Amino acid sequence: MDKKLQIDLQRVPKHVAIIMDGNGRWAKGKGMERIFGHKNALTAVRESIEGATKIGVSAITLYAFSTENWNRPKVEIDALMNLLISSLKKELPTFQENGVKVNAIGSIENLPKKAQVTLRNVILDTEKNDVITLTLALSYGSREEIVNAMKTISKKVVNKELDLENIDENTINNHLYTFNLPHVDLMIRTSGEQRISNFLLWQMAYAELYFTDILWPDFREEHFYDAIIEYQNRERRFGKTSEQLTE
């Protein structure tokens, strides 16, 4: 049976976040260098976006490169940046055809200039697309994001642009990189690791977490649907009891 037919399209998560883990182990298992795994992960990216689009997910965020990833060997970092550039250029026609709006969060200024320019151009070229928003988390760390938000809010208080007593959750949310995105409903992590690794800590406060042993290069549209089905089989209580939800 087509797994997509098992999905209740009225209860699809608005925002799905994915930690794309396992590229290096996948490559190592085939006796290849780590970058071989990254290159072969593009199909998983494409199929996840297509799967999300088909069922009506409005936002998908991919953890593409963390702040900690800068500590990896330079040869791998250079290869990843080149892969980012080539992939964005290659996928642009597909983004346009499928109504994918590209977005990016993180310390983008730390990326190589060529990567920044390519990313900026793709973002501008797709800004009017409205089927799904694809956010790439690049040079991203959630703690850094929250610290930066606190600094900005503090400056506004000092400059009397913001009253201390008026600071609430919305204030913080509006100063995060993701201010224009809904909170995360579902987080998927591949490769069997069960951590959130400094990814969207504020935004995932009430997200359902889904972990799978599948390595990211092997992840396909049907596996994305497995996560959605699992999500829909869970009871999201947001602090309430099951009885309260029923009422």
CATH of the domain at 116: 3.40.1180.10
Helix extents (H) in the chain: 23-29, 34-39, 42-55, 74-98, 113-125, 142-158, 169-173, 221-232, 242-246
Q: Max Cα separation, the chain?
A: 60
Residue 91 forms part of a structural domain: yes
pLDDT of 140 reads: 98
DSSP 3-state percent helix, strand, coil across the chain (nearest 5): 50, 15, 35
Indicate the average pLDDT of the chain. 95
pLDDT of 236 reads: 72
Q: How far is CA 143 from CA 126, 148, 170, 176, 202, in A?
A: 29, 9, 18, 11, 9
Tens digits of residue pLDDT in 188-198: 999 999 999 99
Residue 167 forms part of a structural domain: no
158-185: average pLDDT: 97
Q: What letter represents residue 170's amino acid?
A: N
Residue 149 forms part of a structural domain: no
Smallest CA-to-CA distance from 138 within 179, 173, 103, 190 is with 103
pLDDT of 235 reads: 83
Residue 50 forms part of a structural domain: yes
Smallest CA-to-CA distance from 131 within 102, 88, 90 is with 102
Share of the chain above pLDDT 90, in %: 92
Instruction: Tell me which of 2, 21, 163, 166 is the catalytic residue.
Output: 21
3-31: average pLDDT: 96
**What span, in angstroms and rounded, lies between the C-alpha atoms of 171 and 2?**
43
**How sure is the predictor about 1, in pLDDT bands with cuts at 50, 70 and 90?**
low
Residue 152 forms part of a structural domain: no
Q: Are 68 and 138 in contact (CB under 8 A)?
A: no
pLDDT of 209 reads: 98
Which 3 state secondary structure label does DSSP give 99? coil
More reliable by pLDDT, 56 or 2: 56
**What span, in angstroms and rounded, lies between the C-alpha atoms of 50 and 107?**
27
Domain that holds residue 130: 12-141+186-233
Residue 20 forms part of a structural domain: yes
Is 191 annotated as ligand-binding? no
CB-side neighbour CA atoms (13 Å) of 52 = 27
> Is pTM beyond 0.85 here?
yes
pLDDT of 246 reads: 61
Residue 137 forms part of a structural domain: yes
| Per-residue pLDDT at 80 exceeds 90 | yes
pLDDT of 245 reads: 55
| Per-residue pLDDT at 244 exceeds 60 | no
Instruction: Tell me which of 8, 69, 71, 129 is the catalytic residue.
Output: 69
Active site residue 218: no
Tens digits of residue pLDDT in 138-155: 999 999 999 999 999 999
Is 67 annotated as ligand-binding? yes
More reliable by pLDDT, 4 or 223: 223
How many domains, in total, are found in the chain? Answer: 1
118-135: average pLDDT: 98
**How sure is the predictor about 243, in pLDDT bands with cuts at 50, 70 and 90?**
low
Residue 161 forms part of a structural domain: no
Active site residue 21: yes
